[in-house]
Amino acid sequence: MIIDVFSDTICPWCFIGKRRLESALADRPAAAPLVRWRAFQLNPDMPPQGMERQLYLSRKFDGPGNAEVVYSRIRKTGLEADIAFNFQAIERTPNTVQSHRLIRYAGKEARQDELVEALFEAYFFEGRDIGDDEVLVDIAADSGLNGEAVRAFLAEDDMVAEVLAEDMAARKAGINGVPCFIFNGRNVLAGAQPPEVLIRMIDLALAEPDEDAV
C-alpha cells in the first residue's frame, strides 16, 4: 500500500494529520505502507527570506484577534493528539521550498518520516526558522542525515523545479488545502481526519492492488 501525503512543513493541521495517521496505522500494523511526503506550499508567494510572524498573521487573518481565535482551536485539537503547540515561540514564517527540497532528499535516504517529524517539532515546539539553511542542516543531522552533504545540497538548486512542479500538480489535481492523503493513487482523503476515518481508508486500500500515485 502506498500513502502519499501532501503537506506543508508550517501547517499545524498537517502535524495533527501525521499523528492521526500514525494512530490509524498502529491499529493496522499489517498494512506496512510506503508513506511518501509530497510538497504543497500554503504560501507560494512567500518571499525567500520569509516574513516576520506577526506581520504574516495580521495579513493572513486580518488582525491578531482573528488569528488567536483560529490558533486557539488548533491548540486544543493538538493537545488531543499529544501535540503541545508553542506558537508564541515562532518569530518568522518561512518560505518552505528549502524544507520541501530536504524532504525529497531524505526520501533517497529512506529518512523522510524522521525528517518530517523533526521539522514539525523544530518549528512548532521550538519556533526555529526552518527556512534557514543552517537550521535545516542541524535538523537533518539530528535526523540521521549527513550534515555536510545536506549543506552542499541546499546550496545548489537541485530538486527546486521538482518541488515547485509537485506543488503545481497538486493544485491542478484539485488539492487546495493540506493535509491531503492519497491511498494507492486513487482514494483521496482531505483534511486532518480522525483516526477512525483514516482506518476505513486504509482498509479500503488494503483490499485493492497497489497503484502509483499522481
Whether pLDDT at 213 is above 90: no
> pLDDT averaged over the chain?
95
Compute the average pLDDT of residues 101-106: 98
> Which residues are paired to 85 by β-bridges?
none
Asked whether residue 50 carries a pLDDT value surpassing 80, the answer given is: yes
Number of domains in the chain: 1
Rounded distance between C-alpha atoms, residue 21 and residue 40, angstroms:
18
Q: For residue 18, tell me if it sits in a domain.
A: yes
pLDDT given for residue 214 in this prediction: 47
In a domain, 213, yes or no: no
Q: Say if 152 falls within a structural domain.
A: yes
pLDDT in tens, 123-152: 999 999 999 999 999 999 999 999 999 999
Asked, for residue 88, whether it belongs to a domain, the answer is: yes
In a domain, 200, yes or no: yes
| Dihedral over alpha carbons 166, 167, 169, 172 (to 10 degrees) | 180
Query: How many residues are listed for the chain in this entry?
Result: 214
| pTM (global) more than 0.85 | yes
Q: Which residue has the cell 482573528?
A: 66
SS (H, E, C) 13-72: HHHHHHHHHHHHHHHCCCCCCEEEEEECCCCCCCCCCCEEHHHHHHHHHCCHHHHHHHHH
Please, what sign has the CA dihedral across residues 206, 4, 18, 110?
Answer: positive
The answer to whether residue 11 sits within a structural domain is yes
Q: Is 211 within a domain?
A: no
Beta carbons of 5 and 181 less than 8 angstroms apart: yes
**In-domain check, residue 214:** no
- Domain with residue 158: its CATH number is 3.40.30.10
> Domain of 55?
2-206
